[in-house]
Amino acid sequence: MIKKLRWTKAIALVLALGLGLSVSAQENYKHISKEDSVKVFPGGEQYKVKQFKANFKGKKPKNIIFMIGDGMGIAQVFGGMTANGGKLFLENFKYVGFSRTQSADNYVTDSAAGGTALSSGYKTYNGAIGVDMNKKSQPNIREYAEEKGIATGVISTSAITHATPASFMAHQPQRKMYEEIAGDFLNTNVDVFIGGGYDHFTKRKDGRNLAKELKDKGYKVLRDMKEIAKVKDGKLAGLTAPTHNPRYEERGDMLPVATQTALNILDNDKDGFFLMVEGSQIDWGGHQNDTHFVVNEMLDFDRAIGVALEFAAKNKETLIVVTADHETGGMAVLGGKYKSGMVKGGYATGHHSGVPVPVFAFGPGAEEFMGFMENIDIPKKLKAMMKR
Ligand SMILES: [Zn+2]
């Protein structure tokens, strides 16, 4: 009997360790390895940036594209601009402001509290997903749009169950509750979501197979970006990696392609749409104090912004707002060359910092996003514009 008890305890211990390890493994991007982190981006391929005319229909947008560069401060933006020969699609945004990112319990926010502030308009505690300081669920702007019959979508280069995208889909007291967060996806009527996290939908403690349940709800559940890019209508669940997508060098143009795919699908809705697009891994480069990582992720995000601008400039009824949930690394641009694209970065920390982050706006209503504002003001302004 005692022997049996010891065995059970041992097995439970191993399981807990395994689980703890797998959950914490999904946050190991926060580790700085002195050897690997590259402070100097040597330069690379530079791309052409188009100037878009800013003439729009009406004062209020029919469509909203909300783009979040996780960990993207002005140094990350300018590092990218230097690397691309002094040019970025972001230059098309003439309305610029600053967002203060403090959370309810910390001068320096995490992505969960930052994401919840940007999605629901509530300051909350670090680690919270879509709940307030009392752990009470608070409706987010994507849900508000859904209620109004507006089509909605969420895209991320991390797992789609990770802090920022989860803040637009789920309500859980802790960001590491990936399986519970994935479960919340089934309680929505979201039209399209693309990101990693397939294992959180299929390899679950509760034995449910959410991929099958999504199919039963009429979603196309696809894992290959080539197949995903072909989808033009209907409901789409694009789960592109078991957990997080790899960094840009391995993942390629997944983000700009996913953005175009979502726009193709959502533009079918005559009542308009709301789309959230996250460039998640700028943050990871900041955590690792790795300028090569930061610059490549920043440029990838800027190219996705280019896809959104191409759509908005033609559509004339679309507002694009680009911001960040916080800055990561206390990054400084210490040197650079436009010609070669060389960027030398310096870092004050391996964590997030408390500085305000930029807000860029393009389209009908863009003038609302100037000056200093609190992060929670952004979804409130967007919600007011959704009123029909
Ligand atoms: Zn972070």
Q: Is the sign of the CA dihedral 137, 368, 126, 110 positive or negative? A: positive
What is the reported pLDDT for 190? 98
Question: Rounded distance, CA 302 to CA 330, Å?
Answer: 21
Q: Is 157 left (phi over 0), alpha (psi -120 to 50) or beta?
A: alpha
Cα 28 to ligand 1 centroid, rounded to whole Å:
11
- 301-334: b (≥16 Cβ within 10 Å) or e: bbbbbbbbbebbbebbebbbbbbbbbbbbbbebe
Closest CA to 90 of 322, 255, 352: 322
Identify the bridge partners of residue 373 per DSSP, sorted by sequence position: 99
Pairing of strands 192-196, 235-239: parallel
Question: Rounded distance, CA 324 to CA 70, Å?
Answer: 5
Question: Rounded distance, CA 27 to CA 128, Å?
Answer: 16
User: Residue 136 in contact with residue 116, Cβ under 8 Å?
Assistant: no
Cα 154 to ligand 1 centroid, rounded to whole Å:
19
Question: Rounded distance, CA 280 to CA 72, Å?
Answer: 9
User: Residue 87 in contact with residue 49, Cβ under 8 Å?
Assistant: yes
Identify the bridge partners of residue 126 per DSSP, sorted by sequence position: none
Q: Is the sign of the CA dihedral 78, 79, 81, 85 positive or negative? A: positive
Residue 47, C-beta contacts closer than 8 angstroms, at least 6 positions apart? 84, 299, 303
- Is residue 119 annotated as a catalytic residue, yes or no? no
Q: How far is CA 149 from the centre of its chain?
A: 23
User: Residue 81 in contact with residue 343, Cβ under 8 Å?
Assistant: no
Question: Rounded distance, CA 222 to CA 168, Å?
Answer: 21
Helices (H), the chain: 2-25, 74-83, 111-120, 141-147, 163-166, 178-185, 198-202, 210-216, 225-229, 248-251, 254-266, 282-287, 291-315, 377-386
What is the reported pLDDT for 29? 66
Q: Is 355 left (phi over 0), alpha (psi -120 to 50) or beta?
A: beta
User: Residue 266 in contact with residue 248, Cβ under 8 Å?
Assistant: no
Cα 264 to ligand 1 centroid, rounded to whole Å:
30
Cβ burial of 48 (10 Å; 0-12, 13-18, 19+) is: exposed
Determine the 3-state secondary structure of 371 from DSSP.
strand
Question: Rounded distance, CA 142 to CA 146, Å?
Answer: 6
Q: Please tell us whether the domain made up of 62-386 is placed in CATH 3.90.180.10.
A: no
What is the reported pLDDT for 23? 53
Cα 150 to ligand 1 centroid, rounded to whole Å:
31
Cα 206 to ligand 1 centroid, rounded to whole Å:
29
User: Residue 73 in contact with residue 348, Cβ under 8 Å?
Assistant: no
* Active-site option among 111, 120, 158, 167: 111
Question: Rounded distance, CA 261 to CA 259, Å?
Answer: 5
Tens-level pLDDT at each residue, the chain (388 residues): 567 767 777 776 666 665 555 555 656 666 555 555 678 999 999 999 999 988 888 889 999 999 999 999 999 999 999 999 999 999 999 999 999 999 999 999 999 999 999 999 999 999 999 999 999 999 999 999 999 999 999 999 999 999 999 999 999 999 999 999 999 999 999 999 999 999 999 999 999 999 999 999 999 999 999 999 999 999 999 999 999 999 999 999 999 999 999 999 999 999 999 999 999 999 999 999 999 999 999 999 999 999 999 999 999 999 999 999 999 999 999 999 999 999 999 999 999 999 999 999 999 999 999 999 999 999 999 999 997 6
Question: Rounded distance, CA 94 to CA 322, Å?
Answer: 12
Q: Which two tokens stand for residue 297?
A: 């992720």
